[in-house]
Chains A and B, each alone.
Chain A
């Protein structure tokens, strides 16, 4: 579980753009996350794929909150998939899950 700066790749599926996150969602992820979100554009729905994420901390949560705020402004729906049970719990207790859909496994993919 070595620390690894986040890489975010954008690809498009039937449901819309998917931000594939690989690495750590922490303070160092701000730029990668912001850039990828910008790249995803003005689609109605944006998916965050957490399959490649093994670590997230409170600064990372703040970044997701930031994305949510942007999505709200843009009138976009934000979803997340690939959460481990632990990070799913964190999405729930922070109530992030009240504002974005947590997709169970691969049902949202093409």
Chain B
């Protein structure tokens, strides 16, 4: 398919062991709005990368580990669409 861009989504989430005060604040706001069954919220981020040619897998893992996430506090996962 000519011209179609390949999208790669990288999801970065705080590790379970890391306190996520943003998630706690959002959870409390959700409960205030009536979503009172919500038990926990964690706030991460989603990065959308576009490629004309598929990226090298090893390189992609490397930049996810070294730049896009900080392995001390975050986990990442890669989703190819």
Partners in one complex: no
- Interface residue ranges, A against B (CB under 8 Å): none
